[in-house]
Structure 1
């Protein structure tokens, strides 16, 4: 929670001026004046403090890697000013979480945790490319880099499908690797079906369903995977 707060607050603070002009982000707290910049900086400091305190209570490896994680979730926000690959930087920022949780519990970083982080990186990076499609006009006007701006919306959507297919495959492999019961694979099938549905909603010439309730299934997917993984482990 601490490092996520730091990363999200830093992202909002660093992009506060351009967020005013982007229709997708104009209603965020800083552009609308609901929060002041100094308040967001304060939130960043609180998040950092909570994160380091929590890491210190866990184990040596967690504390040793805490500065790396904290730095990365701040620095990744600058990527879109320099490279169209910024979506992959964001994906890896979110992918820190499963490996960090694994380290917190076990005190070590195992290959299974790395594979789970790859799943998250591909999953989240793919969705960030999709949202980049919605921002393409803004990115062109203000000189922000993105995959859709560099390669076009059609190529971006194809790439997202490949990334999500790879993510789903890695998630399936993880179930076999950890020798989980059939409950896990039921959850996997439901989650992947919802993911495929989300991808099918968007066309290169029609992104209107991006704000459709059907495209908000990620929270449902997360809960499905959590529920069926718990069943697979406990039953």
Structure 2
């Protein structure tokens, strides 16, 4: 029972369900890299399996490190006082061991992909931890977080094509960075007063909620333009463009759910809708690539 209890506490700490945000973009990068040459076939499981393991491990590392770095803040914030590290369900020592294991698993998974991924793995680990400190000194912290998830399509591309980084992966990096930054600004609006009282530099604390919501909308509008640009640069067709249009509509709806006077539906916008967007991008890219060649299951 203790093992089960600890496992559930770890899953709550790292919000394992939010892996849906990063994995589809990593797969999208891998599939687009595979489609860069003549014809198309889906990447092998020999690529996708370590890629999946690496993405889950580095995301778990980033979330665990964030909870450790923010422990002093989380103890004071009423919204976060039930997190496992705050309540004592998980100890600081246990969390440090968990981070060490995640780093080892991530490095091993990168090594299983190729030497380029292995060489870049320390950079990814350092950057995924560094973003946790940025809200202490810059209102651009949301974009730092976005860039961590923005590395997912880059990682997927390099897992398949380690010697060159294509324009689609670069455009997806910026699209995902802006998309994540936008919804992280929305999420941070819940803590605007608390962050301001603690001298933290989130955009809602720095600009006020109303202006932060406008910034989030502009950021999401930019992301909505970059997604179809990435598809066009990868040679995708009308299907992905239609998916991109749907994503734009979802983002508009997301912002209509929230106002400076009513933030009660932030969690709906944060998880449900954004999880749908991540999956839609992957399915749209996969379907467009597959329609260009015979439909086939993964090898």
1:105 maps to which of 153, 156, 160? 160
Distance 2:61 2:271 in 1: 27
Give SS of 1:180's match.
Answer: coil
Q: When the two structures are superposed, what TM-score results if normalisation uses the length of structure 1?
A: 0.94
Distance 1:145 1:214 in 2: 20
1:166 maps to which of 191, 203, 222? 222
Distance 1:213 1:133 in 2: 12
Distance 2:180 2:161 in 1: 25
Distance 2:146 2:122 in 1: 19
Distance 2:169 2:282 in 1: 16
Cα shift at 1:211: 3.4
Consecutive unaligned residues of structure 1, counting only runs of 5 or more, are none
1:176-231 C-alpha deviation (Å, 9 max, x unpaired): 11121222122222222111100111112222221347973111222222222211
Structure 1 residue 153 and structure 2 residue 188: aligned? no
Moved more, 175-184 or 157-166: 175-184
Q: What residue number does 2:110 align with?
A: 55
Matched residue count? 235
Distance 2:280 2:131 in 1: 29
Moved more, 42-51 or 32-41: 32-41
Question: Residues 90, 215 of structure 1: CA spacing in aligned structure 2 closer, same or farther, 3 A cutoff?
Answer: closer
2:239 maps to which of 183, 186, 193? 183
Q: What residue number does 2:273 align with?
A: 217
Q: Taking CA–CA contacts closer than 8 Å with sequence separation of 6 or more, which of the two structures ends up with the larger relative contact order?
A: 2
Q: Work out whether residues 209 and 215 of structure 1, in 8 Å CA contact, stay in contact via their aligned partners in 2.
A: no
Q: What residue number does 1:65 align with?
A: 120
Question: Residues 25, 180 of structure 1: CA spacing in aligned structure 2 closer, same or farther, 3 A cutoff?
Answer: same
Distance 2:222 2:78 in 1: 31
Cα shift at 1:22: 1.8
Question: Residues 14, 164 of structure 1: CA spacing in aligned structure 2 closer, same or farther, 3 A cutoff?
Answer: same
Cα shift at 1:33: 2.3
Matching of residues 90-101 of structure 1 within 5 Å: 90-101=145-156
Question: Residues 91, 214 of structure 1: CA spacing in aligned structure 2 closer, same or farther, 3 A cutoff?
Answer: closer
Distance 1:112 1:213 in 2: 27
Moved more, 136-145 or 19-28: 19-28
Q: Work out whether residues 98 and 113 of structure 1, in 8 Å CA contact, stay in contact via their aligned partners in 2.
A: yes
1:130-185 C-alpha deviation (Å, 9 max, x unpaired): 12211111112222111111111111111111110110101011121112122212
Consecutive unaligned residues of structure 2, counting only runs of 5 or more, are 1-55, 292-299
Structure 1 residue 136 and structure 2 residue 202: aligned? no
Runs of 4+ in 1 over 6 A off after TM superposition: none
Question: Residues 106, 234 of structure 1: CA spacing in aligned structure 2 closer, same or farther, 3 A cutoff?
Answer: same
Q: When the two structures are superposed, what TM-score results if normalisation uses the length of structure 2?
A: 0.74
Q: Work out whether residues 257 and 269 of structure 2, in 8 Å CA contact, stay in contact via their aligned partners in 1.
A: no
Indicate the RMSD between aligned Cα atoms, in angstroms: 1.6
